Amino acid sequence: MQNNLVHFFAVLMRIARVRNENLKIVVLDGETLNPGDLSWEGLEALGECVVYDRTPDDRILERAKDADILYTNKTPLGGDVIRQLPELRFIGVLATGYDVVDMDAAKTRGIPVSNIPTYGTNSVAQMVFAHILNLTQRVAHHSQTVGQGRWTACPDFCYWDYPLVELDGLTLGIVGYGRIGQATARLGRAFGMKILAFDVLPDSSKSGEELFLSLDDLFSLSDFVSHHCPLTADNYHLVGADRLAQMKPTACLINTSRGQLVDEKSLYRSLKEGEIAGAALDVLEKEPPDADCPLYHLDNCFITPHISWATRSARSRLMKTAVENLTAFLAGRPSNLINQ
């Protein structure tokens, strides 16, 4: 108890010193993290905090120009902007992916950049199986048809419009075997699935019941392929026509990672021609997508609006870590740095 009180008062003293520094903290796009069910009080305790729900590209510089501390989720911070922010001392990314920040420009200016690496692990893995279960049971479709009166008019006690698939014994291939990939594997095992994995940096300590394979073998052997890797120059359009052609005609593709991992034109052709059985996407190459996105018109492609990260529990952890990252930086012990 005494140790907890000592820690509590030490934190208060650090916050008091930070407030005296009169820091200006600017959040460029806070709406998705906190649409009203969380609080910004943690950042507000550390300095003058201005939160914008969203910031259009033509107002980024105007809103960020006097900031000591800058937070972004998806608002891009290019080199041309970073170079024009003389007061900027720290950039916090309110997400795991950090491709919205020009890392070279930040490094040149000596500005540390932190992200939030672990907040949504279980939420994203949960979404993978929400999609897998929808693909195998067509839950949404059958619920809608019941609401339309189909069951009432049915001559039998049940009906189904698509083959219903049991997961036990099927193979789940996971591309990117970090925290989220491993959490997804644990859920897969709970359903009795076999786990195949690919990672650019395979770690023998990760190896358990999963089997590490090449991408070629993973795609050809899996019944479901789920992506859990960051976007890099090397994996842009990792899934194109050739990769899709390796999959079983009964297999499904899942992407809750980054939309640019998948070539959507090739995916559309593959789904349209029955080369693979289905796809479930929580991310797209362009977000929000165009109104005429061709994937909308396929009955074997299911799209959700980038929400796998957005459970309240995950967003609460994200907010907490964002405050901790800034507190650590101000105390001279920066954490979760991307550009060390």
Rounded to whole angstroms, the Cα distance separating 289 from 296 reads: 10
Please confirm, yes or no, whether 258 is among the known catalytic residues: yes
The CB density around residue 158, as the number of other CB atoms within 10 Å, is 7
- DSSP symbols for 82-93: HTT-TT--EEEE
Q: Which of 258, 264, 285, 315 is catalytic?
A: 258
Which is nearest to 172 in space by CA: 141, 140, 149, 195?
A: 195
Pair 198, 250: CB distance under 8 Å? no
Rounded to whole angstroms, the Cα distance separating 297 from 318 reads: 35
Please confirm, yes or no, whether 287 is among the known catalytic residues: yes
Q: Which of 17, 287, 297, 312 is catalytic?
A: 287
What is the Cα 331 distance to its own chain's centre?
Answer: 29
Pair 295, 281: CB distance under 8 Å? yes
Strand order of the β-sheet with 69-72 is 48-51, 24-27, 69-72, 90-93, 113-114
Q: How far is CA 328 from CA 18, 110, 112, 325, in A?
A: 11, 17, 12, 5
CB proximity list for 257: less than 8 A, separation 6 or greater? 176, 227, 228, 229, 230, 231, 283
Rounded to whole angstroms, the Cα distance separating 270 from 263 reads: 11
Rounded to whole angstroms, the Cα distance separating 316 from 166 reads: 34
Rounded to whole angstroms, the Cα distance separating 336 from 340 reads: 9
The residues assigned a catalytic role are 258, 287, 306
